[in-house]
Amino acid sequence: MTNSAHFWLNSARLTVVLLSLLLAWVTYRSHLLLKEFQPSFNLLLAPAELMVRLLLVGLFLGLAWLSGLPAGQLGLISAYPLQSIGLGLAIGLVSQVAVNGLMHWAIHRFGRNIYSPLVIRNILPRRPGEWWRVALAFVPAVAMEELLFRTLWLGVFQGIIPLPLLVVGTSLLFGLMHQPQGALGVVAAGGLNILLSLLFIWSGELLVPLTAHYIINLLQVVVASRQREWLENYEHEIDSH
């Protein structure tokens, strides 16, 4: 690799680190804001939020190109896309069923203080016509996270950091970025990141974990929509204890 190629690769790596820290800080600030302010609109459908996510998707793809690494190493090529989507769909469905069951068990076992429904309540469709918009809005949201944590962190840094350390480190970061969902949300997100990272490493492509991640998120909203009363009363019951 030439000196110029090394320079651009290291520049891409540094930018990934800085952007990850920035996103972690923004997530933390959003967590504090949600405690004080309940928006009257669906956070997932906010035009500003959507624009930021689309810009980040473009930026992350630009960083992948800037790294100079082969598209295959970054998981951006799929030999059998339909099979990959089908596999991701099946894994996402099974994973969401397992996660939902484990989260309900954990809340019953350790108490309601370990989970916060603030985020999920603020992205639930408020009328039937919002469902298709929410489903579409999840595409750039999931693509943004998958490009950052799989293509950029695992693909770009695997040459200088052992993969086991990358999986553990990115899972800690991914979990902490879900702090607005409470301690249980942090643990669940960190565990799912390990699964998605292993899928990326095993399949060698982004499409499998991306599809699984999308299905997990979408089904989480579907399940939550059937528990609206429980979610609405959740924090009131916490405050009363």
Angstrom distance (rounded) from CA 141 to CA 217: 10
For residue 233, pLDDT beyond 70: no
Predicted TM-score (pTM) of the model is 0.93
Q: How large is the C-alpha radius of gyration of the chain?
A: 18
Angstrom distance (rounded) from CA 202 to CA 217: 22
pLDDT of residue 232: 65
For residue 239, pLDDT beyond 80: no
Average pLDDT, the chain: 91
Q: Which residue has the higher pLDDT, 155 or 42?
A: 155
Q: What are the φ/ψ torsions at residue 25 (nearest 5 degrees)?
A: -65, -45
**What is the mean pLDDT of the segment spanning 42-58?**
93
- Which residue stretches of 177-206 are H helix? 182-203
Question: Exposed, middle or buried, 100 (CB in 10 Å: 0-12/13-18/19+)?
Answer: middle
pLDDT of residue 32: 73
Angstrom distance (rounded) from CA 172 to CA 175: 5
From the CB of residue 84, how many other CB atoms can be counted at a distance below 10 Å?
Answer: 20
pLDDT tens string 158-212: 989 999 999 999 999 999 988 888 899 999 999 999 999 999 999 999 999 999 9
